[in-house]
Structure 1
Amino acid sequence: MSTLRPALLTDHYELTMVSAALRDGTADRQCVFEVFSRRLPAGRRYGVVAGTGRLVELIRNFRFDADEVDYLRRTGVVDDAAAQWLTNYRFTGDIDGYAEGELYFPGSPVLTVAGTFAECVVLETLVLSVLNHDSAVAAAAARMVTAARGRALIEMGSRRAHEEAAVAAARAAYLAGFRFTSNLAAGKRHGIPTAGTAAHAFTLLHDDERAAFSSQVDALGTDTTLLVDTYDIGQGIRTAIAVGGPDLRAVRIDSGDLAVMAQQSRELLDSLGATETKIIVSGDLDEYAIAALAAEPVDMYGAGTAVVTGSGAPTAGLVYKLVDVGGRPVVKRSERKATIGGRKVAVRRHKPTGTATEEVIVPQGVPDRRPHDRLLQRSYVAGGELLPLPTLDESREHLRQCLISIPWEGLKLSAGDPAIPVTVVPAD
């Protein structure tokens, strides 16, 4: 369970709304908030729900301690009545949503938070910061996994992100199908396999490349990866095999024309008898660069900056909107930001073969269930109590199955329509 105290990871205006609602008597009105995306990031055909497992743990720990309440009162963020309310805060409502690892599309009701206005509205920023970050990383990572065509990927972007965001990004990338992370905190917290050996600095530390490789092999054995592009890649490979022998596990190339380097390196390795030595490439790889290497003799990809920043889409664009007050649908009608009122239920329709054909969303009602329909929402929190969650590996498998289910056009990296259409059934 996370030890982070998340109560002040929020926006000032959420607490001023609580103060005003407590004063005018509307704070205890039963409300429903929904998380959804009006559109997918440019060029994307699906989104990936990620971070829900982290989020519900944070909500369980969402409390205001005495020092935090005193700070809010001293700085005038809240009045005395709101300060007292915050002292006793505990979320007692319900949270339902798409399973972690589920695909979503424009309008999908990804998460539903139900309870009193006050207890739900203070969660807005926490909900969105977790889901927007993790879902953006998972969507980018899923595209890279598709581009890799079954070859392994290692997430290695910790140095390109905030230290806590790096851990969350490693988790999201693993959910999406990456096989390893370089981040040890992610390994410890989430049970993700970690990998890594040496950087160019280790080679430069030594008098020559042979001394560096010998030191690494002496310490780690031949089941290691030698970084061969500090000086000359061809000579680096020859030295690596001379030191590690033909049973050396892998060499890594981090620069240059990776397509050409991979071909030449494979030929050289084979000529040296190292036919089983793997080739790992890294260096500013995104899904497009990975796809461009599909025909090359690459065994594993290392992705850093692109994956932890969402590969050009650093946020999923999810919003948190009030859709129901006391059983009455409410609707925001401002230009270009209209919403559909009422609590919604969603199903995904499939052919008998398992291929997804459509997502159907029903506001204020129950969907007409057909054969091969799959209900998309599940319960995470009931009456304030956290319900059992799938493991990260179970969510990872769920996403893998979801990606198999969408039409092949939906996996293309080119811009296009969402992988499946979304139909909203009018309320009765």
Structure 2
Amino acid sequence: MSTALLTDHYELTMVQAARASGTAERRSVFELFPRRLPEGRRYGVVAGVGRALRAIEEFRFEDADIDFLLTRKIVDDDLAQWLSNYKFSGSIWGYAEGEIYFPGSPLVVVESSFQEAVLLETLLLSIYNHDSAIASAASRMSAMADGRPLIEMGARRTQEYSAVAAARAAYVAGFTSTSNLEAGRRWDIPTSGTAAHSFTLLHDSEEEAFAAQLKTLGESTTLLVDTYDVEEAVRTGVRLTEGRLGAVRLDSGDLAIAAREVRDLLDDLGAEQTRIIVTSDLDEWQIAALRGAPVDGFGVGTSVVTGSGHPTCGFVYKLVSRADSADGELLPVAKKSKNKNTVGGRKYALRRRDERGVAEAEIVGIEAHPTSDGNDRPLHVLLVDNGAVVGQEPTSVGRERHLAARSELPRAALRISKGEAAIPTIMLDDDGQSADNPYVRAPMPAV
């Protein structure tokens, strides 16, 4: 399916006007970046890279697309002809899937002609803003879970295709599985699920429901034990499995108290190996509050698929350099409007680390690679090389990368209380001198 019309009307009107003025083929560099983190967050997580690369490969204007644009008089014949042969032929560098970001991080750098690059603006922003918001929330939750498994189960709380993307982003940020089968198929994510309260209510008794589930799914299954009386349900599940029940799930009440009571009961009944899974509108604060409770895993829905209060990252896509011709020398350009300034010049980034490997700063070089002191880690990887997508990788690789990048952060970064960015973003000019950084503690502007 073509992704070409997943864009804004004005992208095409800009190209049409630029073609008329003779500037459309000027060599250009666009960057996708955050001016700041969502309020109170100490770091952000890059997600959606793999989805964006797939979307770029599918960015083609098919006959039906061209007909729509001509019928609505959105484009003229000249632009329609050019769009019918569109294929991005430039190069893209960016932070890899699962990487950590901070204010001003140059997450995506797109170099091509103006007309090719500007058409990708809306598509890239929609993918990165959504997926990174989900991953940033999910990372906080997985950090608070402290190694215990997390199931993403928010499909019924968001749009159906957003649910697939959200499941992928949550997995990148440390969740262990999803309830969404399409996410499992499309992105090779482990899936899990057992039964809802309706299954228990369907049967004439809870024992009959449990017996049916155990017969079909085996003793390792998870029984939902709070449809009626929790204690009686736990006793029934243990009795039917002779103490070999895999897990029980609690979905209501004071989960900390209920988990302790159920743990004591399971142990008294000889089911010491039966795990306790909790659900019920969890978020990172509730997960943190349950760290001392005998909970073995968490199921999270609404909070993770809505970014836990921050459903977007506020990323923008701005022209930072352009030439006077298709192959001329790049010249920095920047916005100077009130509260929405940008920094001109193509950016390069690395993560400065101390001798122990702990992150100290985000170093962003303007028009030149910043000098590494030996412990620094380059952040840009080549994603598209002269039109060829080269940065695709299994989703599991992004997940491993995120856990490694998060482990580099100073310990204060993992606090869920509100705070400033965990490390500063330092911008350096092409002489290696500190440059003004308008993204430090800047108010979140309108896009």
Q: TM tier, shorter chain? A: over 0.9
Answering whether residue 16 of structure 2 is matched by residue 19 of structure 1, we say yes
Report what 2:152 is aligned to. 155
SS of the equivalent of 2:368 reads coil
SS of the equivalent of 1:41 reads coil
Report what 2:429 is aligned to. 426
Report what 1:336 is aligned to. 339
Q: Deviations 1:311-338 (Å, cap 9, x if unpaired)?
A: 1110011110110111010010111110
SS of the equivalent of 2:79 reads helix
Answering whether residue 417 of structure 2 is matched by residue 414 of structure 1, we say yes
CA distance in 2, matches of 1:333, 1:279: 55
Q: Deviations 1:382-423 (Å, cap 9, x if unpaired)?
A: 110011433221211111111110100011101111111110
Aligned counterparts, 1:390-401, within 5 A: 390-401=393-404
Q: Deviations 1:139-198 (Å, cap 9, x if unpaired)?
A: 100000010011110000011111111111111111111111111111111111111000
In the TM superposition, residue 24 of structure 1 has moved relative to its aligned partner by 1.1
Aligned counterparts, 1:5-404, within 5 A: 5-326=2-323, 327-404=330-407
CA distance in 1, matches of 2:177, 2:106: 31
In the TM superposition, residue 61 of structure 1 has moved relative to its aligned partner by 1.0
Amino acid at match of 1:82: L
CA distance in 2, matches of 1:358, 1:374: 11
Two-structure CA RMSD over aligned residues (Å): 0.9
In the TM superposition, residue 18 of structure 1 has moved relative to its aligned partner by 1.0
Contact preservation (8 Å) 2:382, 2:391: no
CA distance in 2, matches of 1:368, 1:215: 64
Contact preservation (8 Å) 2:368, 2:430: yes
Amino acid at match of 1:352: E
CA distance in 1, matches of 2:398, 2:7: 27
Identity rate of aligned residues, in percent? 54
Answer with 130-139 or 388-397: which moved more.
388-397
SS of the equivalent of 2:110 reads strand
In the TM superposition, residue 109 of structure 1 has moved relative to its aligned partner by 0.2
CA distance in 2, matches of 1:319, 1:244: 55
SS of the equivalent of 2:373 reads coil
In the TM superposition, residue 245 of structure 1 has moved relative to its aligned partner by 2.6
In the TM superposition, residue 133 of structure 1 has moved relative to its aligned partner by 0.6
**Alignment length (residue pairs):** 425
CA distance in 2, matches of 1:256, 1:78: 58
Q: Deviations 1:116-143 (Å, cap 9, x if unpaired)?
A: 1111111111000100011000010000
- Unpaired runs of 5+ residues, structure 2, are 324-329, 432-447
**TM-score between the two structures when normalised by the length of structure 2:** 0.94
CA distance in 2, matches of 1:198, 1:262: 19
CA distance in 1, matches of 2:295, 2:333: 54
SS of the equivalent of 2:308 reads coil
- Unpaired runs of 5+ residues, structure 1, are none
**TM-score between the two structures when normalised by the length of structure 1:** 0.98
Report what 2:445 is aligned to. none
CA distance in 2, matches of 1:232, 1:20: 69
In the TM superposition, residue 110 of structure 1 has moved relative to its aligned partner by 0.4
Amino acid at match of 1:399: H
SS of the equivalent of 1:311 reads helix
Q: Deviations 1:337-391 (Å, cap 9, x if unpaired)?
A: 1000010001111111110111111111121121101111010001100114332
In the TM superposition, residue 200 of structure 1 has moved relative to its aligned partner by 0.4
